[in-house]
Amino acid sequence: MTTYIDPERAQFEAFKTLDRDHPIEMLNLVKFRAKAQYPDGHDLAKADLTGAQAYRNYGTETAPIIARLGASILWRGAFQTTLIGPGDESWDAVFIARYPSAHAFLEMVTDPTYQKAVVHRQAAVETSRLIRCAPVQGGESFG
């Protein structure tokens, strides 16, 4: 399985070219490592944390930033099965984060406190998907 933990440069550049002046919703699909993999020398490198525990550290340290920016977790669900798509993918965390704008998201990822906290995410995640969406009005039918 190919793993995805951080955005590639081209993906991040494509993200930045999109309109930044409206709310965005980020679909997060996250698979945790069995054991967190902190870099050598990190305070938690020998703490024997699970990926889920390391991800909780990431959430705890980034929560004040998310609140300051006016972002929130819009929806969270517990993965059960894939009906259409690769059968070998399963997810430990599935949620949608809403940001008031792409500017807010970019402010988050460039915040020095966030950049320090992201080590927990990198230690925790085996693979992930982060999909930017523009909110649109719901309805009563598909399409």
Q: What is the pLDDT of residues 82-103, one digit of tens each?
A: 999 999 999 999 999 999 999 9
In a domain, residue 141? The reply is no
Report the 10 Å Cβ neighbour count for 52. 15
In the chain, the number of structural domains is 1
Please state, in angstroms and rounded to a whole number, the distance separating the CA atoms of residues 34 and 47.
13
Type of residue found at 70: G
What is the rounded radius of gyration, in angstroms, for the C-alpha atoms of the chain? 16
In a domain, residue 6? The reply is no
Write the pLDDT tens digit of every residue in 127-142: 999 999 999 988 898 8
What global pTM score does this model have? 0.92
In a domain, residue 113? The reply is yes
Domain boundaries, position 34: 20-133
Write the pLDDT tens digit of every residue in 18-52: 999 999 999 999 999 999 999 999 999 999 999 99
